[in-house]
Structure 1
Amino acid sequence: MASLPTPSPSSPFSPSAVVSALRAAGCVFAEDEAELILATARTSGEIASMVDRRTAGLPLEHVLGWAEFHGLRVTVEPGVFVPRRRTEFLVDRALAQVPDARVVVDLCCGSGALGAALAARLPAAEVHAADIDPAAVRCARRNLAPFGGRAHTGDLYDALPPGLRGRVGILTANVPYVPTAEVAMLPSEARDHEPAVALDGGADGLDVLRRVAAGAAEWLAPGGCLLSETGEHQAPAAVTAFERAGLTTRVAVSSQWQAHVVIGVRG
């Protein structure tokens, strides 16, 4: 495919013009965003549309149609939760804990970014993802397809094939963990453009995590692990939930990403 001619400095779609438009809209990383938009758009019309949507407040990943995650370009459709780079730490902890996992399950999968990242590093693994949101599942299917993974619609474990019980080596659950009262304080990009079901974790943010923990031992293989991200102040209560489910539990912390991952292992 032939590339577009390089815009002249006076063009309305020149890099400087795109940067100026994004900066005027309050985009902190306007130069980086402009570079991504110009590299992704195929026509001047697409550039204009992307800039319009970004300056209107749409998340950059929804504008581009993809997000970078753990070395992959993950498809992200409008209305689907955008994977956060800090969650790469959870993927790394999962691989370190069970480096030879043969079955991987990604609950509350959103775009399927975690499942895809794990599938890319575990080519022999059988990978499944599940979400209650049909839009997320459609997106996850696209991201898992290159790895032969499958995505299912339903509420947590109810969505999974029964034959996975007792066989799961890595069970990731990037559950919604924002306390209900704090959802309104989220940045508008998340609050206004991502589904509430992917953000709101109930009164203390741990409603879904407790449900995931309670059922984990039934699905994990011996030595298999459950990993879930939480806020720093929520980690002690999350540990309690994991331990009540019979899992040997610890918390992994990344100062670089300001990430807290609760890890529970079935004995």
Structure 2
Amino acid sequence: MPASPSLLPLSAIVTRLRAAGCVFAEDEARLLTSTAMSQSELAAMVDRRVAGLPLEHVLGWAEFCGLRVVVEPGVFVPRRRTEFLVAQAVRLAGPGAVVVDLCCGSGAVGVALTAALEGAQLHAADVDPAAVRCARRNVGPVGGQVYEGDLFGPLPAALRGGVDVLAANVPYVPTGEVGLLPPEAREYEPRVALDGGADGLDVLRRVAGAASRWLAPGGCLLIETGERQAPGAVEAFARGGLAPRVAVSEELYATVVIGTRPVDSP
């Protein structure tokens, strides 16, 4: 069990976190205290958080869809809004679904889908070696495979035409707006996981253009994007031969574009 770090009172941690600008200082203090195994570890964790590191990088994990997902330094932190993408995918898939988590980061989306879909077969890929290493820690225990490479490039050819759910949490921040992101993202998460090109849709267009060759008839591509980018995303899905629609969660401020490969498509 974690040691009780009584030499560093909770109130003192809260005060330091609040002074550093942490909005949810009380909650963060409790998480740090419950995670630290010793007084010295707690002090070091508080120092890292006060210095601006994302809470999840300090803890070494993030909560996502009710699961504890390993998140290593330098890896994109899964956002709560992306739980909406997972929920949409679960509604569309059945037991034994073949799932691909593209631009997987920590592998959080794929692991959450595997937990929700009985007998799902999970494959995940990312171009960032650090993300691949982290994803393997999460995906391996659920029986999935993680590949390193650009988008569909490293996936096994046997998956072509057989993917039921293709979830792609692509980078979609326009290049000119990356500098406006909070420091936690801008300074500690990889730019390749954030920067989506001039209009934020560069990677999305590439995925949408190739997805139909990988999806099974009736299979679905799901991509999170910004609300103002949804029309452009819909256009890219349609050009890729997919039947697109948009799902929105006002509660989570989430927009997901869903494209279905027609059953009668070649």
| TM-score calculated relative to the size of structure 2 | 0.97
* 2:253 matches 1:258: yes
Aligned position for 1:207: 202
For residues 197 and 101 of structure 1, the distance between their equivalents in structure 2, rounded to whole angstroms, comes to: 32
For residues 66 and 124 of structure 2, the distance between their equivalents in structure 1, rounded to whole angstroms, comes to: 19
Q: Which amino acid aligns with 2:159?
A: L
Aligned equivalent of 2:241, options 237, 246, 254: 246
* 2:79 matches 1:80: no
Q: Which amino acid aligns with 1:192?
A: E
Q: Which amino acid aligns with 1:159?
A: P
Question: What SS class does the counterpart of residue 200 from structure 1 fall into?
Answer: coil
For residues 202 and 165 of structure 1, the distance between their equivalents in structure 2, rounded to whole angstroms, comes to: 27
Give the drift of 1:17: 1.0
Q: Which amino acid aligns with 1:148?
A: G
Give the drift of 1:97: 1.4
For residues 241 and 18 of structure 1, the distance between their equivalents in structure 2, rounded to whole angstroms, comes to: 48
* 2:214 matches 1:219: yes
Unaligned runs of 5+ in 1: none
Aligned position for 1:58: 53
Question: What SS class does the counterpart of residue 170 from structure 1 fall into?
Answer: strand
Q: Which amino acid aligns with 1:76?
A: V
Aligned position for 1:15: 10
Question: What SS class does the counterpart of residue 158 from structure 1 fall into?
Answer: coil
Aligned position for 1:106: 101
Aligned equivalent of 1:35, options 30, 33, 58: 30
Q: Which amino acid aligns with 1:110?
A: G
For residues 163 and 75 of structure 1, the distance between their equivalents in structure 2, rounded to whole angstroms, comes to: 29
Aligned position for 2:138: 143
Residues 144-159 of structure 1: matches in 2 within 5 Å?
144-159=139-154
Aligned Cα root-mean-square deviation (Å):
0.9
Contact 1:123 1:147 in 2 (8 A): no
Instruction: Please list every run of at least 4 consecutive aligned residues from structure 1 whose deviation after the TM superposition is greater than 3 angstroms.
Output: none
Map Cα deviations across residues 181-212 of structure 1 (whole Å, 9 max, x no partner).
Answer: 00000000000000000000000000000000
Residues 117-136 of structure 1: matches in 2 within 5 Å?
117-136=112-131
Question: What SS class does the counterpart of residue 133 from structure 2 fall into?
Answer: helix
Identity of aligned residues (%): 67
Give the drift of 1:101: 5.1
Question: What SS class does the counterpart of residue 152 from structure 2 fall into?
Answer: helix
| TM-score calculated relative to the size of structure 1 | 0.96
For residues 139 and 114 of structure 2, the distance between their equivalents in structure 1, rounded to whole angstroms, comes to: 8
Q: Which amino acid aligns with 2:3?
A: L
Aligned position for 1:69: 64
Contact 2:5 2:33 in 1 (8 A): no
Q: Which amino acid aligns with 1:223?
A: G
Give the drift of 1:6: 6.1
Give the drift of 1:102: 1.9
Give the drift of 1:121: 1.2
Aligned position for 2:232: 237
Give the drift of 1:123: 3.3
For residues 96 and 199 of structure 2, the distance between their equivalents in structure 1, rounded to whole angstroms, comes to: 32
Aligned position for 2:44: 49
Aligned position for 2:171: 176
Unaligned runs of 5+ in 2: none
The alpha-carbon distance between structure 1 residues 105 and 123, as it changes in their structure 2 partners (threshold 3 A), is same
Question: What SS class does the counterpart of residue 73 from structure 1 fall into?
Answer: strand
For residues 51 and 153 of structure 2, the distance between their equivalents in structure 1, rounded to whole angstroms, comes to: 38
Give the drift of 1:145: 1.5
Q: Which amino acid aligns with 1:4?
A: A
- Equivalent residue pairs, number: 262
